[in-house]
Structure 1
Amino acid sequence: MTSAPDLTVVHVPVSDPRVRPLLRELGDEYSRRYGKDAHEELARYPDEEFTAPHGGVLLLLLEAGEPVAGGAFRRYDAATAELKRIWTHSAHRRRGLARRVVAELEREAAGRGYRRVFLTTGPRQPEARALYLATGYTPLFDTGADPETLGPLPFEKHLPRSPRTTAPTREAATQ
């Protein structure tokens, strides 16, 4: 594995055109792995759920101006952010980019007052499962079971308090 290059982290809305190639490739890969069109599932959540104050900001890592990895989080409940759409472009894998995306998402979620992160990954994504285990996530499923018999694999991680906390309020999340 080569080391992660110098990258710029930018916060963008889901509608930013630089996000489309990552989500398209993500949908294509999920469609191949699971044998059904996954693009509709990726579009299931409104973009507003991934923007402030609803508890989410899409992070996009750029290298020489091109998107190489990204992810998002959304409000799951008052204390919990849910990570979604974590992705590394196929030409840039095995460089530590997904770890960096997860760390940046956790940092941003903690800064917004979240105390816990929740996520699910699919049973046919062993590299995602390994990533979450390696980055300190607790599996909320029997790790000895055949993943295909479990469906989505849930994980959680408790976050340290951040000095810059702007907790989303119930009122703000419904406006």
Structure 2
Amino acid sequence: MKLKHLTQANQDYEQTRNFLLQHEAYHSLMFGLLDTIVYSPHRFKSQPYVAMVEKNDTVLAVALQTPPRKLLLSRVEDVQAIALIAQDLYSRQAQLPGVMATASAAKAFAQHWQELTGQPYHEGTRERFYQLETVQPTPVVNGHLRQATLGDRELLIDWCRAFMEEVSEEIVDWEAEEVVDRYLAEGSLHFWQDNIPLSLANFYSSTPNGVRINLVYTPPEHRRKGYATACVAALSQALLDRGYKYCFLSTDLTDPAPNHLYQAIGYQPLDDYMQHYGFDS
């Protein structure tokens, strides 16, 4: 068993992608980050960490961190790979705020990291993954889907900050602006609108067969009126119409409202969920 760093464009890239493709929905975030690292490395202010563990030319795990974010682990085929990744990161004096992985892999890494660094860990959120192939009929509400434009920038920044505060993500002002500017340039931000914007959704992280939806946000005064359902359903259908086979998304397991909303649209829950652990300084 050996660990290899992916440090230049396309080095072991196809082998890594083929491994991730075995569980495409679960790895949709990693697909998007990996593509950005390989093809748009200028987006990152610090050098990303990308490593894979293999044995006999078979990939067992992939690890990815874009500092200062948490470490993201793929599904792990051999638990010994986790110790190898932890040791490698420790030897590089990596600063990790936490880890995201399947429940067993996340806890195993957190325990290894505590042994190496002395940092205690605490359990964070759990995310359920969903996959959609066909949009189901939803209640009709007034409005229509429209692509956000540069004229919406200030509103988008406000909504992005509000969204991040609600999901307990750490984000500073320049990050909100950077996220919005990038998504505006990509044309991926969409409103559900009826005279005024009522709900927001975005798409990103394309995989070979699908695309991930994120940043689903409705201001408190417009909630429980069906706008988020209409927005996500319309955007999902538009993406399927573009030729994507699947749409993916994830949501906090402890929040019943979005879990119910997405299933009503046609999103099917997957067996795997992602467990977050934070490391205390």
Query: Do the two structures share a fold, i.e. TM-score over 0.5?
Result: yes
Deviation digits for residues 125-160 of structure 1, max 9, x if unmatched? 221111112222111137xxxx8xx537xxxxxxxx
SS in 1 for 2:204: strand
Question: For residue 194 of structure 2, what is the aligned residue in structure 1?
Answer: 63
Residues 71, 86 of structure 1: 8 Å contact kept: yes
Residues 30, 38 of structure 1: 8 Å contact kept: no
Cα deviation for residue 99 of structure 1 reads 1.1
Question: For residue 18 of structure 2, what is the aligned residue in structure 1?
Answer: none
SS in 2 for 1:119: strand
Cα deviation for residue 117 of structure 1 reads 0.7
Residues 4, 95 of structure 1: 8 Å contact kept: no
User: TM-score, normalising length from structure 2?
Assistant: 0.41
The CA distance in 1 between the partners of 2:153 and 2:253, in whole Å, is 30
1:95 counterpart (211, 225, 232): 225
Alignment map for 1:1-175 (pairs within 5 Å) = 5-13=141-149, 16-31=153-168, 37-39=169-171, 47-48=181-182, 52=186, 57-65=188-196, 67-141=197-271, 151=275
1:135 to 1:38, Cα distance in 2 relative to 1, 3 A: farther
Amino acid aligned to 2:195 = A
Question: For residue 13 of structure 2, what is the aligned residue in structure 1?
Answer: none
Residues 201, 213 of structure 2: 8 Å contact kept: yes
Of all paired residues, the percent bearing the same amino acid is 25
1:139 to 1:99, Cα distance in 2 relative to 1, 3 A: same
Gaps of 5+ in 1: 32-36, 153-175
Residues 75, 81 of structure 1: 8 Å contact kept: yes
Query: In angstroms, what is the RMSD of aligned CA positions?
Result: 2.9
1:46 to 1:17, Cα distance in 2 relative to 1, 3 A: closer
Amino acid aligned to 2:234 = E
Residues 84, 119 of structure 1: 8 Å contact kept: yes
Cα deviation for residue 18 of structure 1 reads 2.6
Query: Could you say which structure has the larger radius of gyration?
Result: 2
Residues 19, 60 of structure 1: 8 Å contact kept: no
The CA distance in 1 between the partners of 2:259 and 2:275, in whole Å, is 13
- Relative CO higher for 1 or 2, CA cutoff 8 Å, sep ≥ 6? 2
Residues 148, 184 of structure 2: 8 Å contact kept: no
Residues 71, 87 of structure 1: 8 Å contact kept: yes
SS in 1 for 2:275: coil
Please list every run of at least 4 consecutive aligned residues from structure 1 whose deviation after the TM superposition is greater than 6 angstroms. none
SS in 2 for 1:91: helix
Residues 192, 228 of structure 2: 8 Å contact kept: no
Amino acid aligned to 2:248 = F
SS in 1 for 2:198: strand
The number of aligned residues is 134
Cα deviation for residue 79 of structure 1 reads 1.4
The CA distance in 1 between the partners of 2:192 and 2:264, in whole Å, is 21
Cα deviation for residue 89 of structure 1 reads 1.1
